[in-house]
Structures are given as C-alpha cells and as structure tokens.
Chains A and B, each alone.
Chain A
Amino acid sequence: MTVIGTPLKRKEDPKLLTGEGKYVDDIHAVGELWMGMVRSTMAHATIDGVDTSAAAGMPGVHAVYTGAQLMDMGLWAAPLPCAWPVTPDMVNPPHYPVATGEVHHVGEIIAVVLADTRARAADAAEQVEVSYGPLPAVASIAEARTDGAKAHSELASNKSYTWALVPDPAALDAAFAAATHHVTAEFTQQRLIPVPMEPRGVLAVPGVAGGDVTIYSSSQVPHFLKILLAATTGISESKIRAVAPAVGGGFGAKLNINPDESLALVLANKLGRPVRWTETRSEAAFSTHQGRGQLQRIELAADADGKLLGVRVHLDADMGAYMMLVTPGVPLLGSFLYTGVYDVPAFGFTCDGWFTNMTPTDAYRGAGRPEASYAIERAMDILAGKVGVGPDEIRRRNYLAGGEKFENLAVPSTLVFDSGHYGPSLDLALDKAGYGDLRAEQARRRAAGDSKQLGIGLCTYVEICGLAPSRALGGLGFGSGGWEHAVVRLLPTGKAEVVSGSTPHGQGHETSWSMIVADKLGIDPADVTVLHSDTAISPLGLDTYGSRSLAVGGVAISMACDKVIDKARLIAAHQMEANPEDLEFAEGAFTVKGSPDKTMPIQAIAFGAFLAHNLPDGMEPNLQEQMTFDPSNFAFPFGTHVAVVEVDETTGQVDLLRYVAVDDCGNQINPLIVEGQIHGGIVQGVAQALWEDAAWDADGNLRNPSLLDYLVPSAAEMPSFETAFTVTPSPANPLGVKGVGEAGTIGSAAAVINAVCDALSPHGITDIEMPATPRRVWKAIQEAKQ
C-alpha cells in the first residue's frame, strides 16, 4: 500500500471545522478563578505604589496580588527561563512573571486579580491604581544603540551580547579588497505581531489529592513547559502534567514559557483552586512575544562578472524588554543563511542584541531565516543592477555547485547543506511565471508611461530546519537537545497507536503520522490513532517548532515502525515455523518466500503478541516499540519564488497580481498538507512585505494593538498561488524529508519587495522599507521625482 505521497484529506479537519475542537478556553474546572492582569501603561517607570483596595472589595473578587506580595510569598525558585544564552557573558536581567520595583514595557504585569468571572476580573483589574515614576523609554533599536536612556535602570548598557561568526577574518577582508563590485545595503525588519487564530490561554487545575497540578495551555511546547515550570517554581516535575489541547496556530508565538502560565500554576497550587486566563486580542500584543525586530546591514563583494567573493553582515537585534525562551538566539538562527544558495568564499556575521522598552521578541515563523533570506536576496538584486545583468542571471552565476545537484556540501558559514539542486528550481519558476512575457509586458508599460507599472521579483531561498542534531544545538549554546521520541504499538484489536513527542498546533500531524505508519505497516491510515500533546500520555518529547516535526519526529515514528516489523517478523517466523529471513513483509502481512498461502497479517501477530501464548523464548509480550531519533544534520529546504506586482504610481498602491512558488522539501508525505503550509507561509511573508507592522511610538506605546489597525491580510488580498515542486531528498534521514512549515514565509517577503523595487527602478528607487504601504511607495516616488 502506498499512502505516502497521496493528498489524503486531513483527519483533524472535520472536528475543527465543525467547532468540535476543544481549546483551552473550552475546558472548564469546578471552582475556577479568572486572572485579570493589571498591566503597565508606561513603557519604563518605577512602580511607586499599587493600591488594590478598591479592586479587592469588588463583587466576585477572591484576591488581588501585587508583584511585591507574590515575591514575598516565595512562589518562584528562579525567574522565567531563557534557554539560549548565546554568549557566556550575555546580559539577562531577571524576568519574573510580575514586575516589582520597575516596569520595562507597556503591558508588563504589575498585579493580578483573581475573580469568579472573566468580566469581574477585568472590572477589578481596571480599579487597581498604580502610581508610576516615569523613566525615559528606549523605543527603537537606534535609540538603544546610543545608550542614552537605559531600558533597565540598573544596566550599564542596553547591549546584551555581541555574537560573531567570522570563520576567516583575513580572507573576508581580502575578498572585499579584491572586489570590483561592492553592495552595501541596510534593511529594517519591522516588528510583527503573531496572530494565531486562537489567542493564548491557560488553565491550571490542582489535583484532587493535592500536590499535583495539570496545566492546560495553548502551547507549542508542553514538554518544555513542564520541565521549565518545574525548574522555575520548585514544584516537582513529576507533579506537573502539561496538556496542550487543540491549539489554534502558533507560528512561534506559543513557543515560550510565559508569565501567565507560571502565575496560573503557582496560584492554583497555592490556593488549591483552578486558575485560568485567556488573552484578549489586544492584550496579546503585550502578553505574547513579537517577531522580527532587526536592523540589518549587509555588504557584498563581487568580481567583475558579479561572482560573489564575500558577504559581511551586521545585525542589531531588538530583544525587547526581556530575554524570553529563545529571544537572543532568533537572529543567530539566520546567521548561517546570509550567504543564501550561493557559493561565497568568505563570510562574516556579527550581531548585537539590544534591550528596548517594548514587548519581548522571540520566534516567529521562520525565526531569523526570513530575515536572512530577505537581506541576501534583496542585496543580490542590487548587485544585479550594478553588474548590469538580470536578477535571474546574477543568481545563476552564483549558485552553489553551479546549480547542479549536490549532497553534503560544506558552506563557509560552517554548516554542511544536506542536499540541493538550485538550477532546475529557478528554471521551473521562471517557466511557470512566463518570465519572458512578463518582462515584455513590463517593457510595454514602461514605454507607454502607464500609471500602473509592473514589477517582477525573484527570491531563491534556502533555509535551515529540522532542528536538529543535539550536538549541533549544544555547540550553539541552545539549552536543549533536538531529538524526538515516538512509540508505535499495535493494539490487541489490530489497530495502531502512535505516541508522538511532537506537538501539533494546526499542521496535521495526526494525518501525516497515520500515513507514515499505514505505509510502513500496511494498514489503513484510519486504523492509526495518534496520541500527543499531553505529558501524561507522551512523557518524552521536544515539541514542534523550527519545521522539525516530520524531519525528526516523523522519522522517529518511521524507525519505530521498522522495529515493530522486526519484532513481528520474529513472532511470525516462530508461529509459522519458518526462518525469519525467509519471510517477506508486504501489504501488512508476512509471507513465507515461495509459499504464498503461508501468510500472517500483522494484526494477527499483534493479537498473538498480546496473548503471549506462543512467543519465542524470552521475548517480551506485546507489539510495541519506541525510538528516539537524533538526526545527523539539519535539513535545508529551498525554492524559488516569483512575485508579480502592479504598482499604481498615482496612489502608491501595490497589488500582488501573481505569485509563483517552486519549493523543494525533499520527499513529501502528504502533498495537500505541503501545499497548505506553503500557502499559509507565503501569506505571512507577503503580510510582512505589504501590511503588517507593529507601530511603536517614541514613548514605547504600541499604536496598533488591535486587528482594527494591525493589518493582517485575508484571502481577498491574495492572488491564487501557482505552486510547483521539485524533489531533492535529504540524505540526513531515512525518509528523505526536509521541512515545509516555514519555507513559504522565508521566500515571500523578499520576492515581493524585489518586485516592488523592480517596478520602481526607472525612478532610480532601489529600496522600499517594509511594509510597502501605499503612502510609503507614493512618497518614495515623489522624492525620486524631485
């Protein structure tokens, strides 16, 4: 049976689409109390007083706690965790769930109300009076860099760390000295507000027997949550059960250990009552981390033909007010990709991490990699202009391995790319786009002086995912391994049950895992049940982020299936009185070679293993195996995206007319899911290019914390995507798979802005800051005309 590679509809969807999905907010516990957060209205201030008396007397209010009171109660053994100290001397001011003494961003929690309803908690929180002693706020990276005002009063500098990856400084200098063409470009990666459909929420329920707590959280990382809450609260790890029920999207925003989660846990534990909270959409702009937030400077050195000789990059990265789980590491995840798909002899990367008085930043779809592909792909277009060749040609001249197929190729950023084949990807994309016709139409409009000009933008990206080899992560200072765990068992009834340590939040793991198991064991995907996201059921796991689930967790399942088959073979051989080597396994049954009627289906073997009446001597009963897979390398998906935009020069409006995406994620388990991931990913990248921008003012106030003003595009703004795929299997795992969760986002922002700049190039415009709003584009044209 071949299920892998077929566009099976997702198992999860009927439930989700009919409103049957149970999210945290749908789960209730008797006697639950709602937390209402009193949040700072100042970006940076001393807390001079917190008057909770009015709130405490309000109807339904159980308690009101200030930060100082909570600290006095001794609820925490350590501050909230940052698991990625990127340098030994990284500055990391303590971050407790509730502020004491000084607040460092608007929205930081100052006090917590516990009330019997959500509305009463909100009403009472409004009545808590905070007196502030205003301090100057650091509300941009540029300001942080001057070190005038300090984001934390006690710090000597706003700089947290400097991280460098300059394998050969002398070679880099030599490359720049020898170059004919130089490109120096600066780009701003604006902050983005992640907007999963389901906002975050938490419910902590103390056990009936006391002493143990179940925490339901809208989390991508229940396993991390359990371990890190235990470590920071002092509650024993075995007394915490973390459950991520249906989770409506994450995009990295739910890859954290948040103040609210810690608060719910310690308060439920302390009070012996369930404690809950769900963020409102506008609260989420402060209670959940944001994405991006970088100033990038990229320099290219190239010879007369535009062949790259060196790439030098410096980032100034906005950490926000505190280091969250992987805040400092996000920019570094991109560090290895600033040479893109190109053969670059010399490379250097440095990054300074800066504190500001804004919501902390952390992982957001692509985490560091969209930024990297944006910088190199934008810079390549600028180089093409200098060399006087087209954007396609400059890329062809620089592809790794000359655009030919390769495996295990070392690149100067110290990594080994698993596999790639870039030439055909570009060919296919240009062909699908009708590149020649598009250029002709562009020339026609230019000649006619049309008010609507056409722009064509390319992006050929590579990304690093499938996180990952534990040793490599250790080398980066990441506070976790990168393995994934799986259990595959055949139940007495012949159905399969999979326990997976990766935690889906919309990706369709249940479907993909069922397909892998069905293919391996020769059974119907409908006969496979996937258990996950509950540490009581799946105690071992490292969860879902960094496009790792399939390339690590899916592979673990596949390998566990191999073990199941190996054991089943021994049982079948024993019961059929044959040599194990003489058995063939196909279509879910073992058959003795040469005797087609001597056959035994795996379901019968499973039942036999359960009965244990007739097993080989010394064999353990039951048909269940586990596997912990730690890959030997990351996976490096790649692709070519082509965006076609129309720019109305009269108004500055950019209209995305067409979007062609050719992606390569290695072997595909379910092409329908792959397509869905690509679509969503593209929209998120296009959104950064054209719409989304967390607009902070000079005082550290966010001007657009609601979806009224923070513009998330909808299907109405998107063309119908034209997708195609090439397949270059990864040698890093037995399934030959890469990852696809972030690829669309990593390719799309650069493609769109390259297209916008292409349209505007007759004006001499070489860059438009993201998002390319109508006003921004119009103003750029006005200035160019002067």
Chain B
Amino acid sequence: MIPASFDYVEAASAEAAIAALTEHGDEAKLMAGGHSLIPLMRFRLATPAVVVDISRLSGLSYVRDGGDHLAIGALTRHCDVETSDMVRSQAGLLAHVAGQVGDPQVRHRGTIGGSLAHGDPASDLPAALLALGGSVVARGPGGERVIPAAELFTGFLETALAPDELLTEVRVPKVPDARWSFQKFNRRAQDWAIVGVAACGNGAGTGVALINMGQTPMVAAAVQSALASGASAADAAARAAEGTEPPDDLNGDAEYRTHLAQVLVGRALAEMA
C-alpha cells in the first residue's frame, strides 16, 4: 500500500498538462480526483514515473448549455454533476448516476473526466454516458477531437484517448423529456456494481448500457435492437447478456451476472414504462 517513487508535476493549465504528457510519454499519468489512480499506485499496479496533477484546473470544472447538448468540464466532481440543476433537468440519468458513485468522500474528489478516462467496466458514469449517447472532447498537441461514447472504451481500462491527450469536456444530449432508470446491484452502498444497468429513452429511441459485464463499459446491443424492432420489454431483457463476457469474481460468476443483467434490464425497462 506504499506507492513506488514518482515525480510530481502540478499542471498550471490544460496546455501545460498536454505538454507534460508529450514530454514524458508513457511514463506519465494524469491525476484528476486520484480516486482510481492512487489506489492502483498504492497496490503498485500502476507505477508512473511522473504524476501530472490536473486537479486544480478549475477552468475545466463547469456545466454549460451547449445548445442541443450539455457541456460538462472534465474536472467537474461527481457531487457537482449530481447537484447541478441543469444536469438534473436536461439529463436526469447522469445527475442521478453521479449521486450513486461510491460514498460522499468519493463524490467530492472524483471527476467525471477521470471516471470516463479510466474506462473501468465496473464504473457507473461510463454506462450513463453510453445510455445517453454522449461524447467526450479530447485535446492533444494537435488540437481537439470529439469521440463518441460508443467508441471511447476499447479494452480493459483502455480508452481511445492517446497518451498525450487530455479529456477536456463531456457532452451529453439534452433529453428533458426522457424516461430513464438506473439499476445498481451491489452488496454495500459504497461499492461498485456487481452488475448495473443505465437506461434512457424517449421518442427517438432507448439506450441501454451495462456495468461490469465484460472488459469495458458496454452498450446492451441486443436489448437495444430488440427494443428498436418492437420486442416486449421482457423479451428484450432476456437478451441482456448477449455478446457480454461477464467476469467471475468473489461477488458473482458468469451465470449469476447473466441472470442479474436480465433481471436489472427488466427492472429498468419496467420502471421506464
């Protein structure tokens, strides 16, 4: 639980952070809330030579009206997303999910950008973004690009972000009229989900995403296509685990997780009906 030695750099600006990443390459790690990075470092599962602290980049902590979408700064804390009136009214699912992450301490330190950049399949916010069909803005030495949520998560704790890119903003479509549901199944209030489901729908369609059902946060593709082709909620829910690779750990094996995914998708769709 004692991290290996590392150098600490406090980035004064987004540009400085990107410059530090460019300089140190693979050796460097950004630190936002530190609530995923520091545990990995304490277990010595991550041993970055340089930690670039971006937690004080207050310019990247905001919730703005971006026209058809909400723009949320990457450094916005979970508790600020949870309590933002704009997020609550325009993307209720996201505000609710932010309020279900860990415990109050975690929600006051952890950031939405950190949670998405970490790409943990067991995390809550990535599933919310997938269900909402949002995207993120990545800024690197060569400028900015927008990455849709559906293309962000590429492998276990791996994302489409390049090593020298900073996630600066999260974009979420405004869906004030949407019905949504979040089903988080865990054994203790502060835990990650054993399995979770985020779902959000309106006239334009229904997005359903799964937590902890494989290597990455993922869309429940079979459920979505069943719903799109008019299947009943029960029939759609039965397909919840299709195409997933549920992990086997102390909380659940693949059989149990498959069952949970079906139950939880069923509950989500019932709640939204």
Binding site for B on A (CB under 8 A): 118-119, 122-123, 126, 280-283, 650-651, 653, 691, 693, 695, 703-704, 706, 708-709, 711, 713-714, 716-717, 773-775, 778-779
B204 at the binding interface (Cβ < 8 Å): no
The interface residues of chain A lying within 8 Å CB-to-CB of B202 are: none
In the docked arrangement, what's the CA distance between A118 and B1, Å?
A: 11
Q: Which 9 A-B pairs have the closest CB atoms?
A: A280-B1, A716-B189, A122-B2, A775-B256, A775-B252, A119-B2, A650-B263, A695-B250, A717-B188
In the docked arrangement, what's the CA distance between A779 and B187, Å?
A: 16
Task: Give the contact-size bracket for chain B.
Answer: 20 to 34
The interface residues of chain A lying within 8 Å CB-to-CB of B43 are: 282, 706
Q: Contacts A280-B1, A708-B39 known; A775 to B251 CB distance under 8 Å? A: yes
In the docked arrangement, what's the CA distance between A142 and B178, Å?
A: 56
CB-defined interface of B166-188 with A at 8 Å, one 1/0 digit per residue? Answer: 00000000000000000001011
The interface residues of chain B lying within 8 Å CB-to-CB of A703 are: 250
In the docked arrangement, what's the CA distance between A774 and B39, Å?
A: 27
23 examples of A-B residue contacts, CB within 8 angstroms: A119-B2, A122-B2, A123-B2, A123-B5, A126-B44, A280-B1, A282-B43, A653-B185, A691-B188, A704-B250, A706-B43, A709-B249, A711-B187, A713-B188, A714-B189, A716-B189, A773-B187, A773-B251, A774-B194, A774-B256, A775-B251, A775-B252, A775-B256
In the docked arrangement, what's the CA distance between A469 and B256, Å?
A: 52
Give the contacting residue for A651; candidates B5, B185, B188, B189; CB below 8 A.
B185
Distance in Å from the Cβ of B51 to the closest Cβ of chain A?
15
Contact B188 A711 (CB under 8 A): yes
The interface residues of chain B lying within 8 Å CB-to-CB of A774 are: 185, 187, 194, 252, 256
Q: Which of B19-61 contact A (CB under 8 A)?
A: 39, 43-44
In the docked arrangement, what's the CA distance between A126 and B4, Å?
A: 10
In the docked arrangement, what's the CA distance between A122 and B42, Å?
A: 11
> Which residue on B lies nearest to A652, using beta carbons?
B256
CB-defined interface of B1-16 with A at 8 Å, one 1/0 digit per residue? Answer: 1111100000000000
Contact A651 B260 (CB under 8 A): yes
Binding site for A on B (CB under 8 A): 1-5, 39, 43-44, 185, 187-191, 194, 249-253, 256, 259-260, 263
In the docked arrangement, what's the CA distance between A778 and B191, Å?
A: 20
Contact B190 A714 (CB under 8 A): yes
In the docked arrangement, what's the CA distance between A122 and B3, Å?
A: 9
The interface residues of chain B lying within 8 Å CB-to-CB of A118 are: 2
Looking at chain B's contact residues, the main secondary structure is loop
The interface residues of chain A lying within 8 Å CB-to-CB of B259 are: 778
Distance in Å from the Cβ of A370 to the closest Cβ of chain B?
21
> Which residue on B lies nearest to A36, using beta carbons?
B2
Q: Contacts A282-B1, A773-B251, A774-B187 known; A651 to B263 CB distance under 8 Å? A: yes
> Which residue on B lies nearest to A122, using beta carbons?
B2
Contact A779 B1 (CB under 8 A): no
The interface residues of chain A lying within 8 Å CB-to-CB of B1 are: 280-283
In the docked arrangement, what's the CA distance between A650 and B183, Å?
A: 14
In the docked arrangement, what's the CA distance between A708 and B36, Å?
A: 12
The interface residues of chain A lying within 8 Å CB-to-CB of B191 are: 711
Distance in Å from the Cβ of B79 to the closest Cβ of chain A?
17
In the docked arrangement, what's the CA distance between A153 and B39, Å?
A: 38
The interface residues of chain B lying within 8 Å CB-to-CB of A651 are: 185, 260, 263
Query: Beyond A695-B250, A711-B188: 10 further Cβ-contacts under 8 Å?
Result: A122-B2, A123-B4, A281-B1, A650-B263, A651-B263, A691-B187, A716-B189, A717-B188, A717-B189, A774-B187
In the docked arrangement, what's the CA distance between A717 and B103, Å?
A: 13
Contact A716 B2 (CB under 8 A): no
The interface residues of chain A lying within 8 Å CB-to-CB of B2 are: 118-119, 122-123, 280
Contact A716 B263 (CB under 8 A): no
In the docked arrangement, what's the CA distance between A774 and B257, Å?
A: 11
Q: Contacts A123-B4, A282-B1 known; A709 to B188 CB distance under 8 Å? A: no
In the docked arrangement, what's the CA distance between A483 and B260, Å?
A: 55
The interface residues of chain B lying within 8 Å CB-to-CB of A717 are: 188-189
In the docked arrangement, what's the CA distance between A691 and B190, Å?
A: 14
> Which residue on B lies nearest to A778, using beta carbons?
B256
Contact B188 A716 (CB under 8 A): yes
In the docked arrangement, what's the CA distance between A708 and B3, Å?
A: 17
In the docked arrangement, what's the CA distance between A136 and B200, Å?
A: 53
In the docked arrangement, what's the CA distance between A778 and B43, Å?
A: 33
Distance in Å from the Cβ of A58 to the closest Cβ of chain B?
11
In the docked arrangement, what's the CA distance between A651 and B266, Å?
A: 12
Distance in Å from the Cβ of B76 to the closest Cβ of chain A?
25
Contact A779 B256 (CB under 8 A): yes
The interface residues of chain B lying within 8 Å CB-to-CB of A281 are: 1
The interface residues of chain A lying within 8 Å CB-to-CB of B190 are: 714, 716
The interface residues of chain B lying within 8 Å CB-to-CB of A126 are: 44
Distance in Å from the Cβ of B91 to the closest Cβ of chain A?
26
The interface residues of chain A lying within 8 Å CB-to-CB of B4 are: 123
Give the contacting residue for A775; candidates B5, B189, B253; CB below 8 A.
B253
The interface residues of chain A lying within 8 Å CB-to-CB of B194 are: 774
In the docked arrangement, what's the CA distance between A713 and B2, Å?
A: 25
In the docked arrangement, what's the CA distance between A282 and B44, Å?
A: 12
In the docked arrangement, what's the CA distance between A714 and B251, Å?
A: 18
> Which residue on A lies nearest to B4, using beta carbons?
A123
In the docked arrangement, what's the CA distance between A103 and B157, Å?
A: 36
In the docked arrangement, what's the CA distance between A778 and B44, Å?
A: 36
In the docked arrangement, what's the CA distance between A708 and B251, Å?
A: 12
In the docked arrangement, what's the CA distance between A164 and B43, Å?
A: 45
Distance in Å from the Cβ of B163 to the closest Cβ of chain A?
26
> Which residue on B lies nearest to A199, using beta carbons?
B1
The interface residues of chain B lying within 8 Å CB-to-CB of A122 are: 2
In the docked arrangement, what's the CA distance between A122 and B44, Å?
A: 11
In the docked arrangement, what's the CA distance between A126 and B44, Å?
A: 11
Distance in Å from the Cβ of A399 to the closest Cβ of chain B?
36
In the docked arrangement, what's the CA distance between A426 and B232, Å?
A: 51
The interface residues of chain B lying within 8 Å CB-to-CB of A280 are: 1-2
In the docked arrangement, what's the CA distance between A779 and B252, Å?
A: 11
Contact A714 B260 (CB under 8 A): no
The interface residues of chain B lying within 8 Å CB-to-CB of A711 are: 187-188, 191
In the docked arrangement, what's the CA distance between A714 and B260, Å?
A: 24
In the docked arrangement, what's the CA distance between A774 and B193, Å?
A: 13
In the docked arrangement, what's the CA distance between A118 and B185, Å?
A: 39
In the docked arrangement, what's the CA distance between A713 and B103, Å?
A: 13
The interface residues of chain A lying within 8 Å CB-to-CB of B187 are: 691, 711, 773-774
The interface residues of chain B lying within 8 Å CB-to-CB of A691 are: 187-188
With most chain B CB atoms within 10 A of its CB, the pick from A118, A693, A773 is A773
The interface residues of chain A lying within 8 Å CB-to-CB of B249 are: 709
In the docked arrangement, what's the CA distance between A708 and B187, Å?
A: 12
In the docked arrangement, what's the CA distance between A280 and B1, Å?
A: 6
In the docked arrangement, what's the CA distance between A651 and B187, Å?
A: 11
> Which residue on B lies nearest to A281, using beta carbons?
B1
Distance in Å from the Cβ of B245 to the closest Cβ of chain A?
18
Distance in Å from the Cβ of B262 to the closest Cβ of chain A?
10
In the docked arrangement, what's the CA distance between A732 and B44, Å?
A: 55
In the docked arrangement, what's the CA distance between A704 and B253, Å?
A: 16
> Which residue on B lies nearest to A283, using beta carbons?
B1
Distance in Å from the Cβ of A631 to the closest Cβ of chain B?
41
The interface residues of chain B lying within 8 Å CB-to-CB of A708 are: 39
> Which residue on B lies nearest to A121, using beta carbons?
B2
> Which residue on B lies nearest to A774, using beta carbons?
B187
Distance in Å from the Cβ of B42 to the closest Cβ of chain A?
8
Distance in Å from the Cβ of B65 to the closest Cβ of chain A?
35
> Which residue on A lies nearest to B252, using beta carbons?
A775
> Which residue on A lies nearest to B39, using beta carbons?
A708
In the docked arrangement, what's the CA distance between A704 and B249, Å?
A: 10
The interface residues of chain B lying within 8 Å CB-to-CB of A779 are: 256
With most chain B CB atoms within 10 A of its CB, the pick from A123, A126, A774 is A774
In the docked arrangement, what's the CA distance between A706 and B5, Å?
A: 22
In the docked arrangement, what's the CA distance between A650 and B263, Å?
A: 8
Q: Contacts A123-B5, A708-B39 known; A714 to B252 CB distance under 8 Å? A: no
The interface residues of chain B lying within 8 Å CB-to-CB of A283 are: 1
> Which residue on B lies nearest to A717, using beta carbons?
B188
> Which residue on B lies nearest to A708, using beta carbons?
B39
Q: Contacts A651-B260, A779-B256 known; A119 to B250 CB distance under 8 Å? A: no
